[in-house]
Amino acid sequence: MQGLMQPWPLTVDRILDHACRWHGEREIVTRSVAGPIVRTSYARLHDRAQRLSNALLGWGVQRGDRVGTLAWNTARHMEVWYASMGIGAVCHTLNPRLHPQQLAYIINHAEDRIIFADATFVPLLEALLAACPKVEHVVWMGDGAEPPATRIAGLSAYEPLLAAHAPASWGGFDENTAAGLCYTSGTTGEPKGVLYSHRSNFIHTFLTLQHDIIGLSARDVVLPIVPMFHANAWGLAFSAPAAGAKLVMPGARMDGAAIHELIETEGVTFSAAVPTVWQMLLQHLLATGGKLTTLKRVVIGGAACPENLIRGFHEHFGVEVVHGWGMTEMSPLGTVGAPTAELAQLPFEAQLPQRLKQGRVPLGVDLKLVDDAGQPVAHDGAAYGHLLARGAAVAAAYFRRDDAILDADGWFDTGDIATIDAHGYMQITDRAKDLIKSGGEWISSIEIENIAAGHPKAALAAVIGRPDPKWGERPLLLVQLKEGEMATADEMLAFLENRIAKWWTPDEVLFVTHIPLGPTGKIDKKALRVAYGAVAPA
């Protein structure tokens, strides 16, 4: 026997329909790529997105066709998202921080028919398009009626395209229809495409709206600093309109001064970004004496969050920093470190060890740990194992690849090594490929670099393993100091003392002018291994 409820497909166009009908005048504020602040609303964005849908239909875009974007976080980028998804096409967010050869590979592998590009990225497309024969149209997302002079043939301007079309109708397709495509950053091998469905995005939106996850409300003012090309801005372009929250889109400027200005002038209450962005903001605030008068909560993910960030925002500004973890393959949220009832009653110092962990699972996600033989690992906070995941918004396969990514029971191997404690808090101890094996025992590179990054003179820290004739591998600590600071190796090692096992202590400390970051804001360990002799160059 089945239930007697109305059929109501979970398609993401309904999210913006809801925002338009019930939160229509709630603002969306954008720092435009050209610079000025631009204001719109959910109702106006809904109308413009439906007009753009009609333009896409006029170009012959059909369900399942891929529509690419090379764009920052702006209201226009959101319009392209909903315009594409609303007619059953697939919105493919392209990461402009990838190597051009990787971008060309991704565009060709996805077979993007149309690409919408901010002015910043038109030169990049000029260099790429000769190698991308399937791209039929490129749309410049600037303000004017005429696109700039360019070698791109037939470049269209965004605003005249919208003005020439009436609103289209949305929906009318199955909730399992593909909605979005996002490629992994390709740190090992070619980038792999994760193809989200309308249903998975909708359920992920419900998942994020749980109070202990992101928990937005209509009273919130949300600043998504995490780019929309990083796993859907962690779902914020869906969850903010679903809740009716005001959106503040930062555009191309991610420096501490620009972010601080938006937070204060627009009354931001919630934000999300990778740790490097918040390090810049914290350093800017401490250097200038800046205040945070409205910001209440920040989710930091994409890489492990150093203690100095959690402590710094709490002690200086009363802002709660919540650790999060996820993957492109998980849409992306997997855990968030909101406190349990017991933890919330403890003093801040007693909470800190748990807050440094990646957090607990929301409804909609399941995790487990297994050893090398596939046997379960105890949830005691000490035993570590391979972290496996499954859920309603977890990938079952990669786009246009035949290799199986799930085990016989439907679990996806995240590639992370982790512990889970008795309270359900998961902690990533390392990526499987980044663990350092010394004398037959494992050393966590992440744990050392998190502590080292907390040194008051350190801007960034990274740890890699280098070959050692006696022990197999030994850790090397690389430190990028804050501007104007000087330090010694003994200083850094003394800071680690009594915080890690003595045999974990790095054999060498090198001070470097720059620690490279990958296209998603994480430390590029692959480049460091080549540069510092851990592996031979490819």
Cα–Cα dist 175/197, whole Å: 7
Choose, from 79, 329, 449, 473, the residue flagged as catalytic.
Answer: 329
pLDDT of residue 537: 44
Q: Which residue has the higher pLDDT, 434 or 334?
A: 334
70-84, 390-404, 435-449, range with the lowest pLDDT: 435-449
Buried b (16+ CB within 10 A) or exposed e, 246-271: bbbbbbbebebebbbbbbeebebbbb
pLDDT of residue 394: 98
For the structural domain made of 13-253, what CATH number should be given? 3.40.50.12780
Q: Which residue has the higher pLDDT, 230 or 51?
A: 51
pLDDT of residue 527: 85
Domain borders along the chain are 13-253, 435-531
| Whether the predicted pLDDT of 531 surpasses 90 | no
Choose, from 59, 111, 442, 505, the residue flagged as catalytic.
Answer: 442
| Whether the predicted pLDDT of 534 surpasses 80 | no
Q: Which of 17, 31, 184, 6 is nearest to 98 (CA)?
A: 184
Annotation says 184 is catalytic: yes
> What one-character DSSP code corresponds to residue 336?
E
pLDDT of residue 440: 67
| Whether the predicted pLDDT of 314 surpasses 50 | yes
Helix 307-317, helix 348-355: angle, nearest 10: 140
Cα–Cα dist 69/367, whole Å: 32
Q: How confident is the model at residue 60 (pLDDT cuts 50, 70, 90)?
A: very high
Which residues, including other chains, have CB under 8 Å from residue 417's CB and lie 6 or more apart? Answer: 384, 385, 386, 387, 428, 429, 430, 431, 432, 435, 442, 444
Q: How confident is the model at residue 538 (pLDDT cuts 50, 70, 90)?
A: very low
| Whether the predicted pLDDT of 102 surpasses 90 | no
Annotation says 502 is catalytic: no
Average pLDDT rounded to a whole number, residues 467-493? 91
Annotation says 442 is catalytic: yes
Name the CATH superfamily for 435-531.
Answer: ANL, C-terminal domain (3.30.300.30)
Helix ranges, 233-347 (H) = 236-243, 256-266, 275-288, 307-317, 341-344
Q: Which residue has the higher pLDDT, 113 or 499?
A: 113
